[in-house]
Chain A
Amino acid sequence: MTEPANTAHDEDGPLVSLCRKGDTDAFETLVKRHQKKMLNIAFRMTGSYEDACEIVQDAFVAAYGNISRFEERSRFSTWLYTIVVNRTRNHLKKAETLAGRREVSLDDPVRSEEGGICLEPVSAAPSVLETLEQREAQARVRQCINGLDKEFKEVLVLRDMQGLGYEEISSMLGLAAGTVKSRLFRARESVKNCLKKLIGRP
């Protein structure tokens, strides 16, 4: 299941070569190809759609400006995701500095989206509209993910939401594969416990 950083079959390769020659149309194709994934990475890590849009824009502009430094040791997409992850990390760090560090223990009571503490699981009464229930459940999952510390959140986002390989993630984050795994496992267990607290089941 792991995808090694395979550069031989990088489908972006020809377009990247064109970008190096100043072909902005080629870059536009790359933007269209990768913006959704990049946006979702930034969105899930920040929890803010508009912040994510800003981060993705900045990441693409930076990528174009530095495309000569892309050494093709990884896939182009990995390189792009690395930029977006780093920019999101910086963004979060800045936001943290502004707001003052708020330490959250994985065992803290679960906070509702309004900021209150959820003491009771959500009513178990069956919803008439299945979609509503599903949406509700999704909101709870989001809430649990948002409650994770950023180190744990980023591995969960990259692995379980974006389906990137362990090797790719560890090279992107500059972490040993073992660290990525242990963080991911803790993140999953934390989400699992959080969901149990909120809705009585994962």
Chain B
Amino acid sequence: MDCEKTRRLLHEYFEGLSSGEEKALVGEHLASCADCRAFLEDLRQTVLRVKELEEVEPPAWLTRKVMARIKEEHPVRGHLFGRLFRRFPAGLPVAAAATVVVAVFSVILMRSMQPDIGRVMPPVVAEKRQPASPHSETSVPAGAESQTGRSATRGKVEVHGERAVADRQRSVPEHQRLSEPREPTGSAVVPAPPAAVKAAGASPQDDISKENSTQGLDSKADSERPGLREKATKAGRTAGRTYERSVELRHADGAPEVIVTYEATAAGKKKIMEERFDEQGGRHGAHIAYDNAGRPWVEVRYEHGRIDWIREYDADGTLRRGKSGHPWPWLRPDLK
């Protein structure tokens, strides 16, 4: 048997999968051919190296996320009580008590929610709309902060404060609005993100126009867009702070998005927080706060189907906490 034929058979030979006849033939050839013995040794080393590659561990949230999506897409059908009974073998009193508690709690919850629920038509999302004229505040850019192509395409990651404030100002009636300790325009409270981060983004320019167009919207332009926007706002007072929280569901171009805006004022200081959840479960939020000297700073949190990370910017856009590079380099040795 020649070397070429032997080498074709060597793969199975070293895995112990050769038939008896092949094994004998290969063994015979190997005994007399140093080249093929070297070939076999190289092959063995190669496969060993491939086998020895470290495996990656799944992130802790993977199971949680899978199960959350499954429960969302396949809600349990009808036998919730059956499950309760199964969980509590001596079940009836427990289940009955639980039912009463749930019922009472629901009534309280409904009562407290009811006056605040409103439906606002039409929607306000104008991702694709161009501003009628270049906005005067182009010096206030959006935080186009994308590390990967995925974030750039799916994430629509921005510093949301600007839009949060703009939205809030449009959608919350004048008398409900809390007093603004800083400049009254929404854009003024959002510091610019650092230039280096912007450079990493896919197209900061797009985001600038998005932000500006959102601001430049008027109600007439809104009415040209079909869609649905539901919003529930709740104002209250807790632990020495007044707050206003709104949960908004939007359907923009068929893509539902939930936006939670939270604004709290405590001891004359104000915090605004906005979180977005898209249909993929992606989540990104900006948190605007004022320090003791009244200077605003922004915390941006990213979570997009993976590990979340946080960055903080000063009012001038300087990154003061968090790294500007890839957020999880230890998982991506190929990006080092």
Contact = CB atoms under 8 A, between A and B. Distances in A.
A57 B305 contact: yes
User: Would you call the interface of chain A mostly helix, strand, loop, or mixed?
Assistant: helix
Name, among A31, A57, A65, A138, the residue most crowded by chain B CB atoms within 10 Å (CB to CB). Answer: A57
B83 to A, nearest CB: 9
Contacts of B73: 61, 65
A57 B69 contact: yes
Contacts of A161: 50-51, 53
Nearest to A52: B56
Given A22-B74, A113-B334, A40 B62 contact: no
Contacts of B17: 1-2, 166
Contacts of A146: 334
B8 A22 contact: no
Contact of B334 (A24, A60, A142): A142
Nearest to B334: A113
A61 B70 contact: yes
Nearest to B70: A64
A2 B12 CA distance: 11
Interface residues of A, number: 52
Interface string B39-64: 00011011101111111111100110
Q: Size class of B's contact patch?
A: 35 or more
Nearest to A37: B55
A27 B8 CA distance: 43
Contacts of B220: none
Contacts of B336: 113
Interface string A167-202: 000000000000001001100110110011000011
Interface in A80-129: 113
B185 interface: no
B67 interface: yes
A49 B53 contact: no
15 contacts: A24-B67, A24-B71, A39-B58, A40-B56, A53-B59, A53-B305, A56-B62, A142-B333, A156-B50, A161-B53, A181-B12, A192-B42, A192-B46, A195-B49, A196-B42
Interface of B: 8, 11-12, 15-17, 42-43, 45-47, 49-59, 62-63, 65-67, 69-71, 73-74, 76-77, 148, 150, 305-306, 328, 331-334, 336
Interface of A: 1-2, 22, 24, 27-28, 31-32, 35-36, 39-40, 43-44, 47-54, 56-57, 60-61, 64-65, 113, 137-139, 141-142, 145-146, 156, 160-161, 163, 166, 181, 184-185, 188-189, 191-192, 195-196, 201-202
